[in-house]
C-alpha cells in the first residue's frame, strides 16, 4: 500500500531562541511525507515555483518519495516566516506568501486516485476538498488545518471536515474551531460534524485521541534540547498515517500505536532545524524511542 500526502512544500524562515534559518526546506507536506516514508511508500502532491532548488527534489527522492505529483509552476514557491519565544508550543507567523499556491489546482495522477491512506496536510481547505473529490475508495482520510484557515475559510473547512475520518488539530485550533474551552467538549463537537476520530495535539504535553471507544492520552517524549518545533505536527501526522498504511491498521490498538509512532517521529524532528534530524534518522532509533514511550507511561497498579 502507499500513502498519499497533499499539502504545502515551502521555504521556511524560522527564528527560535536557539538560532535562525532562512529559506530552508519545509512545508506541511514535506514534513509529513518524509515522516511517513519511514513506514510505507509515499506519493506527494504539491506545487513549487521555478525557484525551487533541484537539490530539494533530490532530497525528497532520497527518502523514496514519489514526486510525480509535485508540480513545478512559473512563479515563486510558497514561503512561511515565523518565530518562537521560549513558549515553543506556539509559532508566531510573521509572513505567509502563498505564491504558486494561490492558483494551484491539484490534479491527481490516475494511479494516486486509488489511494487508501490519505493525509490532507495543512493547505487551503478548498484545495483539500478538490483532492477528496478525486479519490476513489479511501480507507482512512486524515485532515490537518490551522488557525489561518479557521479564521479565513471557515465554511469550506467545515465542508472538508464533514468528509474525513480523523481530524488532527492543536489545542488552540480545537478551541477556536468549536468555541469550546474544554478539549473534551471541543472533541465531541468536532466528532458531531463527521470525523469518527479527533486527535488534539498539546505540544510538549502530548496528544489526546478521541473516538467512540473513549480517550487515549499519549505523552510527548521528554526532550532536553528542543531546537526548532517547526514541522512537529506534520511529522506526527505523517508518522501516524504512514504506520496505519504500513500495517493495514484498522482497530483501536493500531491507532494507539500509530499515535505513539507519530509522537516518536515528532520528538526527533524538533532536535534540529528543518529536516536535518530526519536526514540521519535510522529505523533503530525510531524503534528504541517507541519502546521508551512504553517505559515512560507504564506502571503497576499494585
Q: Which of 36, 168, 186, 232 binds ligand AMP (CB under 6 A)?
A: 232
Q: Which of 100, 123, 141, 169 binds ligand AMP (CB under 6 A)?
A: 123
Q: Which is nearer to ligand AMP, 46 or 116 (CB)?
A: 46
H or E element that contains 6 = strand 2-6
Q: Which of 3, 4, 27, 195 binds ligand AMP (CB under 6 A)?
A: 27
Question: By CB under 6 A, which span of 15-23, 154-162, 217-225, 230-238 interacts with ligand AMP?
Answer: 230-238
Q: How far apart are CA 76 and CA 11, in angstroms?
A: 10
Distance of closest approach, residue 224 Cβ to ligand AMP, in angstroms: 20
Asked if 96 touches ligand AMP (CB under 6 A), the answer is yes
Closest by CA position to 277, among listed 244, 224, 237, 231: 231
Closest by CA position to 11, among listed 51, 60, 43, 58: 51
CA dihedral 255, 256, 259, 263 (to 10 degrees): -160
Q: Would you call 33 helix, strand, or coil by DSSP? A: helix
Closest by CA position to 182, among listed 208, 219, 211: 208
- Work out the number of other CB atoms within 10 angstroms of the CB of residue 111: 12
Asked if 173 touches ligand AMP (CB under 6 A), the answer is no
Q: Which of 69, 195, 233, 239 binds ligand AMP (CB under 6 A)?
A: 233
Distance of closest approach, residue 27 Cβ to ligand AMP, in angstroms: 4
Asked if 148 touches ligand AMP (CB under 6 A), the answer is yes
By the criterion CB under 6 A, which residues form the site for ligand AMP? 8, 10, 12, 26-28, 31, 80, 96, 122-123, 146, 148, 230-234
Amino acid at each position: 500500500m502507499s500513502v498519499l500526502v497533499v499539502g504545502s512544500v515551502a521555504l521556511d524562515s524560522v527564528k527560535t531562541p536557539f538560532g535562525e534559518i532562512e529559506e530552508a526546506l519545509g512545508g506541511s507536506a514535506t514534513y509529513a511525507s518524509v515522516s511517513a516514508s519511514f513506514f510505507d511508500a509515499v506519493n506527494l502532491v504539491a506545487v513549487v515555483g521555478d525557484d525551487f532548488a533541484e537539490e530539494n527534489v533530490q532530497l525528497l527522492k532520497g527518502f523514496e518519495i514519489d514526486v510525480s505529483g509535485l508540480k513545478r509552476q512559473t512563479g515563486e514557491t510558497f514561503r512561511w516566516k515565523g518565530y518562537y519565544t521560549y513558549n515553543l508550543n506556539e509559532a508566531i507567523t510573521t509572513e505567509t506568501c502563498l505564491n504558486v499556491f494561490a492558483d494551484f489546482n491539484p490534479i491527481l495522477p490516475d494511479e494516486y486516485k486509488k489511494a487508501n491512506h490519505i493525509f490532507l496536510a495543512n493547505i487551503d481547505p478548498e484545495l483539500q476538498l478538490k483532492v477528496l473529490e478525486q479519490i476513489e475508495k479511501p480507507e482512512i482520510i486524515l485532515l490537518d488545518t490551522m488557525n489561518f484557515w479557521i479564521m479565513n475559510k471557515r465554511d469550506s473547512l467545515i465542508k472538508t471536515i464533514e468528509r474525513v475520518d480523523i481530524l488532527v488539530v492543536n489545542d488552540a485550533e480545537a478551541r477556536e474551531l468549536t468555541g469550546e474551552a474544554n478539549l473534551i467538549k471541543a472533541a465531541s463537537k468536532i466528532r458531531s460534524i463527521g470525523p469518527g476520530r479527533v486527535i488534539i495535539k498539546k505540544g510538549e504535553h502530548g496528544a489526546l485521541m478521541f473516538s467512540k471507544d473513549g480517550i487515549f492520552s499519549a505523552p510527548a517524549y521528554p526532550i532536553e534540547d528542543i531546537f526548532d518545533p517547526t514541522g512537529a505536527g506534520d511529522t506526527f501526522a505523517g508518522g501516524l498515517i504512514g504506520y496505519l498504511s504500513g500495517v493495514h491498521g484498522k482497530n483501536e490498538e493500531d491507532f494507539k500505536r500509530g499515535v505513539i509512532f507519530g509522537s516518536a517521529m515528532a520528538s526527533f524532528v524538533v532536535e534540529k532545524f528543518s529536516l536535518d534530524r530526519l536526514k540521519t534518522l535510522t529505523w533503530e532509533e525510531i524503534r528504541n524511542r517507541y519502546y521508551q514511550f512504553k517505559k515512560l507511561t507504564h506502571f503497576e497498579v499494585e
